[in-house]
Amino acid sequence: MIERLSERIIPEKLQPGNIIRIIAPSWSLSIIDKGVQSFAEETLKNMGLVVTYGNHVSESDLFRSSSIQSRVEDIHSAFLDSNVKGILTVIGGWNSNQLLQYLDWDLIRTHPKVFCGFSDIDTLNNAIFSKTGLVTYSGPHFIFFGQKHHFEYTKEYFKKAVMSNEPFFLDPSSHWSDDEWYLNQEGRHLVDNKGPLVIHEGEAEGVVVCSNLCSLNLLQGTEYMPPLTDIVLFIEEAKFSNPSQFDRDLQSLVQQRGFGIRGLVIGRFQQGAMTVDQLNYILQSKRELQDIPIIANVDFGHTDPKGTIPVGGMVRIRASRVNTFVQFTEH
C-alpha cells in the first residue's frame, strides 16, 4: 500500500490519435447491444481516440463474465502494450474482485496509463491505487459513450479528467436522468437538477478515494484497501441498495481501523432509492462524520450525467449554503 503522496503516479493524459483498449473485468461485451457498441466506437473516434479490444472481451460464462485467466490476461496485455494509452471497461457487474490476487502489480506500476470505469470496477480502481499509487478514474464505462442524447456533460468531464492536466470544478448539471436509455435511446426522461445538498458546512482538501460503496467494502480487511485517513471520500450507491443497506454498508466503512476522513461527497441516488430525510438520519447517526463537511446529490455514480472522479487525485471541497464547490486540483 502507498504510504506517501510522493508515491502517487499520475498517468499521461489521453491525446487525439491515442489508442485505447476496451476490456471486460466484470460483465462481457457480449451483453451489449451492437448498435450501442457501434455508437460508442463512433463517439470515441470523434474525440480523436482509436478503439481496440481485448482478446477475451466477448467471452461469456454462467455469470456473464469470462474466466479469471481471460480477464487477467486482457488487463495485463492492455497495460503492457506501449501503443495503448488508456483503458476503458465495458460495463460493471459483480466479480472484478476475483482478479485481485492474480494481478501483477509491478507490471501495472511500471506501465502506468489511464484506467477508467465505475461501479464494480471501483474495486479495481481502488486496489490499483492502493497497491501501485497509480491514479485511476471512477467514470463512464465504454457503454456510456453509446448514448445518443444528453451525453455532453459526461463527455466534457471525462475529457477534463483524462485529457487535460488543468484543475477543474465539478459543476452541477442542469438536468439528470435515471432511465434505461440503452433500451430506448429516443425516450429519455430528464429531471431538473436542484444542485448539491449540503449536509454539514465546512471546507476540506486532500487525496481522493472514490467508489461505489458496496464495491469499496469488498476490500475491507485486505491488502487492497486504500487508506481512509486524511482523505476526502467520494461514495455512491446503486438502486439495489435500499436505505437500510446503505446505512449498514456505511457503518461498516466508518468502523474500519484508521478511519478519519476530512470530507465526504455523496453521488446522486437513483430515483426512489433515498429521501433527504433518510440520508440525513443515516449520516447524523455516525459520530465519525459529525465534524466534517458533507455534500450530497453530486454528479457521479449510477445516474446520468456523471462526472469522472480521479481516485488518488487531489481535491478541494467547500460545503456552504452560499458557495458550494468541488474542485480537482491535481489529477
For 94-132, write each residue's pLDDT tens digit: 999 999 999 999 999 999 999 999 999 999 999 999 999
State residue 2's pLDDT score: 59
Closest CA to 171 of 263, 300, 322: 300
CATH number at residue 50: 3.40.50.10740
Assess whether pLDDT exceeds 90 at residue 41: yes
What are the start-end ranges of the H helices in the chain? 34-46, 68-80, 105-110, 122-132, 152-162, 213-217, 243-254, 276-284
Assess whether pLDDT exceeds 90 at residue 324: yes
Do 304 and 232 sit in the same domain of this protein? yes
Do 182 and 142 sit in the same domain of this protein? no
- Neighbouring residues of 303: CB distance < 8 A, sequence distance ≥ 6: 176, 177, 178, 267, 268, 269, 270
Do 163 and 145 sit in the same domain of this protein? yes
State residue 228's pLDDT score: 96
Cα distance between residue 188 and residue 178, in whole Å: 9
Of 123, 142, 167, the position where a domain reaches its end is: 167
State residue 115's pLDDT score: 99
Average pLDDT (2-26) is 89
Q: How do beta strands 314-319 and 202-212 pair? A: antiparallel
Written as one letter, the residue type at 95 is N
Do 296 and 186 sit in the same domain of this protein? yes
Of 104, 139, 167, the position where a domain reaches its end is: 167
Closest CA to 274 of 161, 188, 197: 197
b/e code 165-197 from CB counts within 10 Å (16+ = b): eeebebbbbeebbbbebeeeeeebeeeebeebb
Of 167, 188, 206, the position where a domain reaches its end is: 167
Do 139 and 239 sit in the same domain of this protein? no
**CB neighbours (10 Å) of residue 58?**
15
Do 217 and 325 sit in the same domain of this protein? yes
State residue 4's pLDDT score: 56
Closest CA to 92 of 133, 114, 123, 113: 123
Average pLDDT (245-255) is 98
Do 117 and 257 sit in the same domain of this protein? no
Strand partners, 260: 229
Query: Which residue numbers are catalytic?
Result: 119, 236, 302
Closest CA to 269 of 233, 307, 297: 297
CATH number at residue 314: 3.50.30.60
Cα distance between residue 270 and residue 179, in whole Å: 10
Average pLDDT (43-60) is 98
Do 173 and 163 sit in the same domain of this protein? no
Do 118 and 17 sit in the same domain of this protein? yes
Assess whether pLDDT exceeds 60 at residue 250: yes
Residue with the three cell numbers 486504500: 226
Do 178 and 318 sit in the same domain of this protein? yes
Domain span including residue 16: 5-167
* Structural domain count of the chain: 2
Closest CA to 91 of 109, 54, 118: 118
* Sign of the CA dihedral with 215 first, then 219, 225, and 231 last: positive
Do 202 and 298 sit in the same domain of this protein? yes
Assess whether pLDDT exceeds 60 at residue 5: no
Cβ pair 112, 84 in contact under 8 A = no
* 31-35 CB contacts, 8 Å cutoff, 24+ apart: 31/60, 31/64, 31/91, 32/90, 32/91, 32/143, 32/146, 33/146, 33/182, 35/146
State residue 76's pLDDT score: 98
The length of the chain is 331
State residue 7's pLDDT score: 83
Q: Cα-Cα-Cα-Cα dihedral of 316, 319, 325, 329, to 10°?
A: 0
Cα distance between residue 62 and residue 178, in whole Å: 28
Tell me if the pTM is above 0.95.
yes
Do 238 and 127 sit in the same domain of this protein? no
